[in-house]
């Protein structure tokens, strides 16, 4: 059984979209999506520097566009499972057939813009916590008035909240853990993002959905969502809810996934999977970063792709 994964914010790299624009129709697709997003996605993916593409309002639709451009080059009818990390869920949901690519781009643009606006309301941030006992890490995060915004597995939890609280947390870290401040604009996936959740919900109400054509995992709890309407509600809620990527990886293991393709910009999720699902039965992984990687991805699907539901 094979899964396709769509990465989230922080995975972007300057120029990463450049080779994909050589594919037939890709430039036209990106131009149309740029109109929907109100952004020059071609510029952002090919010419913009690191500082420009770390802006939440720009990064989120750019990442979704990249996932869709690459995903459309794969024989998805032979892919059994799809999942995305944070904003990557929008691309994964479109590739599962719940709504069209255009809806994913529109939602990503609203999500990114409104989350950026929410970040400006008060000084907040995020810090990665590496190592330590997971239960102790979460308890220490909450004791400082912070939120465990991402539980990524492989010994990585992300704390989020006020900059003051994060500073105190870093000064009194959990036992056997390292705390590293992340260069992000604010406390994503926490109640600080409530205005963005409200704004996204208003737009999502106009999106027509169908039930997913393949197993679609949710960041909320790692479960497979079988109803398109429920997934749309979860996508809205996820703006303020923690990302439980650890539970998504647990479900990948329980489903018996033996092959994984990570969409561009690939590497982050593949790294987490390698550290979490190691040893006997570890899945074969293809990181799809340029069109040169497409033959390996298609070969993996041909060899171990599973039937869709």
Confidence at residue 98, expressed as pLDDT on a 0 to 100 scale: 98
Instruction: Quote the DSSP letter at residue 306.
Output: P
Judged against a pLDDT cut of 70, whether residue 308 lies above it is answered with no
The token pair at 73 is 């080059």
Q: Which stretches of 132-183 are assigned E, i.e. beta strand?
A: 147-153, 156-162, 177-181
Confidence at residue 152, expressed as pLDDT on a 0 to 100 scale: 94
Say whether 224 is catalytic: no
Ramachandran area for residue 81 (φ above 0: left; ψ -120 to 50: alpha; else beta): beta
Task: Specify the pTM.
Answer: 0.94
Confidence at residue 279, expressed as pLDDT on a 0 to 100 scale: 81
Report the C-alpha gap between 298 and 305 in whole angstroms.
Answer: 9
Domains of the chain: 2-119+190-304 (3.40.366.10), 124-181 (3.30.70.250)
Hey, CA dihedral for 169, 238, 85, 276, is it positive or negative?
positive
Instruction: Quote the DSSP letter at residue 187.
Output: -
Mean pLDDT of 20-33: 95
Residues 247, 270: contact at Cβ < 8 Å?
no
User: Which one from 6, 11, 34, 86 is the annotated catalytic residue?
Assistant: 86
Report the C-alpha gap between 9 and 53 in whole angstroms.
Answer: 10
Judged against a pLDDT cut of 90, whether residue 306 lies above it is answered with no
Strand partners, 286: 261
The token pair at 283 is 């899945």
Split at pLDDT 50, 70, 90, the class of 4 is very high
Report the C-alpha gap between 149 and 158 in whole angstroms.
Answer: 6
Q: Please give the backbone phi and psi of residue 299, each rounded to the nearest 5 degrees, phi first.
A: -65, -40
Judged against a pLDDT cut of 80, whether residue 309 lies above it is answered with no
β-strand 124-131 against 177-181: which pairing, if any? antiparallel
The token pair at 240 is 């303020």
Say whether 127 is catalytic: no
The pLDDT tens digits for 205-256 are: 999 999 999 999 999 999 999 999 999 999 999 999 999 999 999 999 999 9
Judged against a pLDDT cut of 60, whether residue 99 lies above it is answered with yes
Split at pLDDT 50, 70, 90, the class of 89 is very high
Mean of per-residue pLDDT scores for the chain:
95
Judged against a pLDDT cut of 80, whether residue 289 lies above it is answered with yes
């Amino acid at each position: 059984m094979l899964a396709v994964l769509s990465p989230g914010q922080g995975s972007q790299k300057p120029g990463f979209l450049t080779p994909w624009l050589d594919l037939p129709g890709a430039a036209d697709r990106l131009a149309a999506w740029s109109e929907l997003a109100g952004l020059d996605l071609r510029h952002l993916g090919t010419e913009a520097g690191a500082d420009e593409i770390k802006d939440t309002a720009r990064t989120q639709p750019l990442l979704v566009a990249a996932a869709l451009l690459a995903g459309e080059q794969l024989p998805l009818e032979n892919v059994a499972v799809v999942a995305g990390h944070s904003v990557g869920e929008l691309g994964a949901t479109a590739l599962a057939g719940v709504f069209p690519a255009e809806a994913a781009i529109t939602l990503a643009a609203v999500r990114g813009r409104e989350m950026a606006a929410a970040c400006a309301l008060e000084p907040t941030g995020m810090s990665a916590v590496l190592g330590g006992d997971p239960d102790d890490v979460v308890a220490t995060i909450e004791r400082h008035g912070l939120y465990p915004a991402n539980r990524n597995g492989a010994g990585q939890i992300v704390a989020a909240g006020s900059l003051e609280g994060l500073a105190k947390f870093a000064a009194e870290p959990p036992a056997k853990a390292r705390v590293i401040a992340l260069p992000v604009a604010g406390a994503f996936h926490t109640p600080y993002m409530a205005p963005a959740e409200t704004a996204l919900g208003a737009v999502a109400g106009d999106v027509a959905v169908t039930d997913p054509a393949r197993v679609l995992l949710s960041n909320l709890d790692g479960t497979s969502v079988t109803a398109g309407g429920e997934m749309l509600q979860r996508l809205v809620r996820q703006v303020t809810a923690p990302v439980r990527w650890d539970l998504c990886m647990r479900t990948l293991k329980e489903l018996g996934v033996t092959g994984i393709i990570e969409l561009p910009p690939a590497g982050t999720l593949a790294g987490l999977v390698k550290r979490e699902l190691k040893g006997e039965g570890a899945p074969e992984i293809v990181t799809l970063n340029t069109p040169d990687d497409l033959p390996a991805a298609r070969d993996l699907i041909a060899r171990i792709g599973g039937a869709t539901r």
